[in-house]
Structure 1
């Protein structure tokens, strides 16, 4: 089985790939991604911390 490589490349190459990917999306898809990021950010901000019992 082939090993999966997630982030291969220099930071500039990865940024360029990301920009091309974003530009290929429609306005609605960009808005949906932004809303998902905002929802996750809000959940993380308002979440109660769970303390480990050790």
Structure 2
């Protein structure tokens, strides 16, 4: 059975505190993996914009 999807609703300050606690609970390797994923997505978006503008 699939889990229900839960959207983060609440005050931005509360969400920021939750995110900080979540990140602090991660190991160094998990933090690094998240950073690499963000960099990969950022690079893909950047290169996709260049490819579209060339068409």
Q: Kindly indicate which of the two structures has a greater share of residues assigned to helix.
A: 2
CA 1:28–1:10 in structure 2 vs 1: closer, same or farther (change >3 Å)?
Answer: same
The TM-score with structure 1 as length reference comes to 0.78
Larger Rg: 1
RMSD: 1.9
The TM-score with structure 2 as length reference comes to 0.76
Query: How many correspondences in the alignment?
Result: 48
